[in-house]
Amino acid sequence: MKKSFLRFLALCLCLALLPLTAGAETEHTVTFVLNGGTMDSPLQQKVADGETITWPSPSPVKEGYRFVGWFCDAAETTRYGSTTPVTQDITLYARWTRYLLVRACTLDELNKGGQIRASWTASWGGCDTDWTRAIGAFVKTGEVVTIVAQADEGYTFKGWSYSQSLDDIFTTSSSYTFTFPDQPTFEFRALFVSPPTITTQPSDATVNEGSKAIFKVVASDADSYQWQYKDAGGSWTNSGYTSAKTATLSFTAKASMSGRQYQCLVTNSAGTTTSNAATLTVNSKPVITTQPSNATVTEGNKATFKVVASGTGLSYQWQYKDAGGSWTNSGYSSAKTATLSFTAKADMNGRQYQCLVTNSAGTATSNAATLTVNVAKPTITAQPTNATVTAGNKATFKVTASGTGLTYQWQYKDAGGSWTNSGYSSAKTATLSFPTKANMNGRQYQCLVTNSAGTTTSSAATLTVNAAKPTITTQPTNATVTAGNKATFTVAASGTGLSYQWQYKDAGGSWTNSGYSSAKTATLTFTAKAEMNGRQYRCKVTNSAGTTTSSAVTLTVNSKPAITSQPSSATVTAGNKATFKVTATGASSYQWQYKDEGGSWTDSGYSSAKTATLSFPTKASMNGRQYRCKVTNSVGTATSSTATLTVK
């Protein structure tokens, strides 16, 4: 009986626990073994039964190795599937390996020129690739690898290189076997070459005799160069210049080489390519066939020198030289032609002339020819012209003359008078300049131009002098007055026949002629009123030549203060603040006063008693006290009405 009861209790306990255990979720532990690597993610991960692993990101790293993936066994033979569900606790092992990179290439392009293949054997994954242009594969350190190269049609295999620059060919055998070293990446490049390709042909050259001639070829895949030359009717011959075995042929040109052709043979292990032929043109220096001759002319006439030269592309530059001087380029417009022509002057007598004849090949200098110039009487080339000026301004008369040793004398003549030498300091120069006066109006001026050959008199020019517009010499100044007093503005001006008109303008208004009796004189005087404050005044001074307006000045009118808002009586509870306020225009200071019944007005001592608003705490004893404010400025004082304080 006791055993049956115990069985019953055990059954009940199992039934009671059944709901608690039936729904519990099973989790498995995934452990990551890094095999010497590191990673940011935890080394263990909890995964619900039947779910997949959340793979560590980023992947683990190990210096000098590439990460292959996660494997199920320590021997790293079986890769764990990325979507395999987890059904038990597992340990995953990181596998690390090295990387083999093999490329086919030419000197200027990858994956071109031929194909490659590689083979090796490993317990966890051997390889025998197809023919391709680039191979990238994981290989274990110590594996024996064979790489083979095969050239495309038109290309030749040149060798294997470790570097991108292809300057370290270590074997020319198309098949190479090696043991994979202990390093992350081992890279090979199979270099294939084709006969050189000329990308830039040599160009024709035109040079001057004695200058450098240069021919240049640009080619890809070139190992060597040989320049050749050929004269008309001849055959191609190897050039012996030191630069003839480089891409750029350079040498000093001679006249006898003109018309010679040049070509370049560009060679590599795959063959030779011949460039186009380029022609050399050599320019020769000019040769003077007719020299310039001496010339004799009269001052003021044309002198001419001429040179004849043979050659191509000729330019000319005539030069001159005085006795004891040096050769200087002539600035005449004809100085750059074969014939120099210009107007001769007396000071050119004995001057020598030569011509430099130039082309791209050099310069030939002519013989020197001498110019003889006979003196001539002065010739006036520009006559003085009439002048019209305003009195007080400068009048100017000018004469231009050709000749040597010239002197000048200006003369003047009034109506009905005779010619008289001018005494101004400029009267003995080509330009007469002087200040004018009204009485000079109608006066005529001429100039006598003289040298050793004689005197030439200019035509006469007439001076017209107009009256001058007024000039204000003293401007009116701003004025500040008290309302009811006189305001005065004064202007000073120079000129003849002056008249005056004073004007005024209020803010925002326009200028209006003043009607005061003094408004037509140099000094405007009137009685100032308060409403004139800020008004501007100016004076227009006029004569027959025009009107000049003075600068504008401002009138400031000071007025006695005006109270616009009186203080009001106030009723407050004892202990509270009482406030009295006055509003006034033109105020510069305030003084509040108080008076008790039967007493006299006394200045308040509160800090606010000198402001427009009096404010203070009240006492019962102040009940019935009166307050007023005296508002003052520089003109006078205005007293407010009285306000009464009632204190409850």
What gap in Å lies between CA 49 and CA 75, rounded to an integer? 26
Read off the pLDDT of residues 542-558 as tens digits, 9 standing for 90 and up: 998 899 999 999 999 88
454-457 and 444-451 as β-strands: parallel, antiparallel, unpaired?
A: antiparallel
pLDDT value at 301 more than 50:
yes
Cβ–Cβ under 8 Å, residues 390 and 470 = no
Q: What's the whole-number mean pLDDT along residues 153-166?
A: 86
pLDDT confidence tier of residue 372, bands split at 50, 70 and 90: very high
Instruction: Tell me which CATH code domain 562-647 carries.
Output: 2.60.40.10
pLDDT value at 110 more than 80:
yes
Q: Hey, what are 629's tokens? A: 């404010």
Amino acid type, 447: C
pLDDT value at 9 more than 50:
no
Read off the pLDDT of residues 471-483 as tens digits, 9 standing for 90 and up: 999 999 999 998 8
The CA-to-CA distance between both ends of the chain, in Å, stands at: 107
Q: What's the whole-number mean pLDDT along residues 350-362?
A: 93
Give the model's pLDDT for residue 478: 96
Average pLDDT along the chain: 90
Give the model's pLDDT for residue 3: 42
pLDDT confidence tier of residue 622, bands split at 50, 70 and 90: very high
3-state secondary structure of 425: helix
Give the model's pLDDT for residue 179: 87
What gap in Å lies between CA 263 and CA 583, rounded to an integer? 108
Give the model's pLDDT for residue 464: 93
User: How much of the chain exceeds pLDDT 90, in percent?
Assistant: 63
Q: Hey, what are 248's tokens? A: 């750029």
Give the model's pLDDT for residue 570: 94
Give the model's pLDDT for residue 122: 62
Q: What's the whole-number mean pLDDT along residues 593-616?
A: 94
Q: What's the whole-number mean pLDDT along residues 265-283?
A: 92
Q: Which range (158-172, 250-264, 348-362) has the least confidence?
A: 158-172
pLDDT value at 117 more than 70:
yes
Phi, psi values for residue 176, rounded to 5°: -135, 130
Q: Hey, what are 368's tokens? A: 């020197």
Q: What's the whole-number mean pLDDT along residues 407-413?
A: 97
* DSSP letter, residue 38: B
pLDDT value at 121 more than 70:
yes
β-sheet bridge partners, residue 617: 577
What gap in Å lies between CA 29 and CA 90, rounded to an integer? 7
β-sheet bridge partners, residue 46: 29
Choose which CATH entry (3.40.50.720, 2.60.40.10, 2.60.120.10, 3.40.140.80) describes domain 197-283: 2.60.40.10
Give the model's pLDDT for residue 24: 54
Extents of the domains making up the chain? 25-189, 197-283, 287-374, 379-466, 471-558, 562-647
pLDDT value at 304 more than 60:
yes
What gap in Å lies between CA 294 and CA 98, rounded to an integer? 95
Higher pLDDT, 299 or 207: 207
Q: What's the whole-number mean pLDDT along residues 272-284?
A: 93
- What's the topology of domain 471-558? Immunoglobulin-like (2.60.40)
pLDDT value at 187 more than 90:
no
Q: What's the whole-number mean pLDDT along residues 422-450?
A: 95
pLDDT confidence tier of residue 623, bands split at 50, 70 and 90: very high
Instruction: Tell me which CATH code domain 379-466 carries.
Output: 2.60.40.10
Residues 6+ apart with CB under 8 A from 142: 179, 180
pLDDT value at 585 more than 70:
yes
Give the model's pLDDT for residue 6: 44
pLDDT value at 19 more than 60:
no
pLDDT value at 327 more than 60:
yes
Give the model's pLDDT for residue 158: 87
pLDDT confidence tier of residue 74, bands split at 50, 70 and 90: confident
What gap in Å lies between CA 467 and CA 441, rounded to an integer? 10
Give the model's pLDDT for residue 4: 45
387-390 and 420-421 as β-strands: parallel, antiparallel, unpaired?
A: unpaired
CA neighbours closer than 13 Å in the CB half-sphere of residue 404: 16
287-374 has the same fold as 197-283: yes
Give the model's pLDDT for residue 154: 82
Amino acid type, 18: L
Q: What's the whole-number mean pLDDT along residues 219-244?
A: 94
pLDDT value at 615 more than 70:
yes
Instruction: Tell me which architecture the domain covering 287-374 has in CATH.
Output: Sandwich (2.60)
Higher pLDDT, 85 or 101: 85
What gap in Å lies between CA 492 and CA 499, rounded to an integer? 12
pLDDT value at 21 more than 60:
no
Q: Which range (119-128, 405-414, 567-576) has the least confidence?
A: 119-128
